[in-house]
Structure 1
Amino acid sequence: MNGTGVKKELSLFGDIRVLCFAAMFVALSIAIAAFCKVYLSFGAIRITFENLPILLSSVLFGPLVGAATGVTADIISCIIAANPINPIITVGAAMIGAVSGVFSHYIFKKYSTAHIFISTLASHILGSMIIKSAGLMILYNYPFETIIWRVPLYIFIWAVESTLIAILLKNPIVLRVADIRRQMK
C-alpha cells in the first residue's frame, strides 16, 4: 500500500493504469455496440465493431484483461439495453478477449500485422462464429440458415478490426500504453 492507503497493485490488472485502460475499452465497446444495435441490426445479423476494443485490450494487456473486458462490456451492455444476459454469448465475448490475448502474448509475443490478423481471426472464429452463434441458436431459436450468414459477416468484420488494430499498433502512443504491462513483469 502507498501512503494514501490505496493498494497500488491489483491482482488481475496488475496496475491501476491497466484497470483504467480496460474500463475505457469497456466503455468504447458499449458505445459501439449501442450505435450498431440502432443503425446496423438485421435480426440475428448485426454489423458491429464492438469487439475492436476487446481485441485491443487483449493484444495490449493479455488474455485475462481481454476476457475481463469482454465479459464486463457484454454484461453492462445487456443491463443498459434491458436485455437478459445470455451466458453463452458472454462466454463468447470472454473467448474473443482471451484467445486474442493468448495468441498475442504467449504464441507470437510481438506485434506484426500477420500476427495481429491471425490472433484476431482465431478469436472471431471461436468467440463470434462458433460460441455466440450457438448462443443465438440455443437461447433465441434462430435457425441455422440465418446464423450461417454470420460467418461471411465476421470475416468482413475481422478484416476491418484487424486492419485498425495493426494501424493503431504502429502509433508510438499506443505502443507506450502496451509498455505499461511489460514494465510490470
Structure 2
Amino acid sequence: MGVSQKTITGSLQSSSRLSTKTLVMASFLSALTIVLTRYGSIMLAGGSIRLGFGNLPIILSGILLGPMAGVLTGIVSDLLGVLILSQGGFHPGFTLSAALTGFIPGVVVALNHKHKYSFFNICLSNILVFLIISLGLNTYWLTQLLGKSFFVLLPARALAQGIVAVITIAAIWFLSKFFRFWDK
C-alpha cells in the first residue's frame, strides 16, 4: 500500500511540473503570438477592433500543453508584446484575458481527454474564448480605455471576432491532424 501511494504521489508531482519540451514549445508559441498580434494584425474602428490571429497560438498552447502552459503562454506573450511594440499601453485586464485564452482550451481538453483533439473540443474551446474573452472581457477592457459604452462596441466586435473565431477553428482543425505527433 505504501508503494502505490508513493507512486501516485510521485506521478502527481511530476505531472504538475512543466517539462523542458513543454517550456520550449510554449516559448515558441509565445513568440508566434507576439508576431501575429503586433505585426500581423490590422486595427480598425479607432482601436476597438483588431483583426488578427494572435489568439491562435495561445489556444494551441492550451490544447497541446495543458491549462498551466496555456496561461503562461498568454501572460508571457502579452507582457513581452507590450514591451516590444505597445499598441496603446499596458492594461492588466488584457493580460488576464490572454491568460484565460490559454487556460480555457486547456481545461476543455483536460475534461474530455479521451477525445483530446476532437472537432467538438476545438469548437467548444474557441467558442468559449470568443464569448468570454473576445466579446466579454476584452470589450469591457476597451470600454475603460476608449470611454465608449459596452453595447456601442459590441456589435462591430461581435462580427469581426466571430469571423476570426471561425477561421481559427478551421485552422486549428486542420493543424489537429498533426497534433498526434506531439504526443509521442
TM over 0.5: yes
| Secondary structure of 1:46's aligned partner | strand
Spell out the pairing of 1:75-94 with structure 2 (5 A cutoff).
75-82=79-86, 83-94=88-99
Matched, 1:118 2:115: no
The structural deviation recorded for 1:176 is 2.0
Call closer, same or farther: CA 1:28–1:34 in 2, change over 3 Å: same
Offset from partner CA, 1:117-154 (integer Å, 9 cap, x none):
11111122111211111111113324431343111211
| Secondary structure of 2:144's aligned partner | helix
Matched, 1:167 2:171: no
2:171 partner letter: L
| Residue equivalent to 2:106 | 101
Contact 2:65/2:106 (<8 A) preserved: yes
The structural deviation recorded for 1:64 is 1.0
| Secondary structure of 2:40's aligned partner | helix
Instruction: Give the percent of matched residue pairs that are identical in Structure 1 and Structure 2.
Output: 27
Distance 2:70 2:180 in 1: 17
Higher alpha-carbon Rg: 2
Aligned residue among 149, 156, 160 for 2:156: 149
| Residue equivalent to 1:25 | 29
Count of aligned residue pairs for this structure pair: 167
Gaps of 5+ in 2: 1-12
Distance 2:118 2:15 in 1: 29
The structural deviation recorded for 1:66 is 0.6
Q: Normalized per residue, which structure has more helix?
A: 2
Using structure 1 for the length normalisation, give the TM-score: 0.82
The structural deviation recorded for 1:12 is 6.0
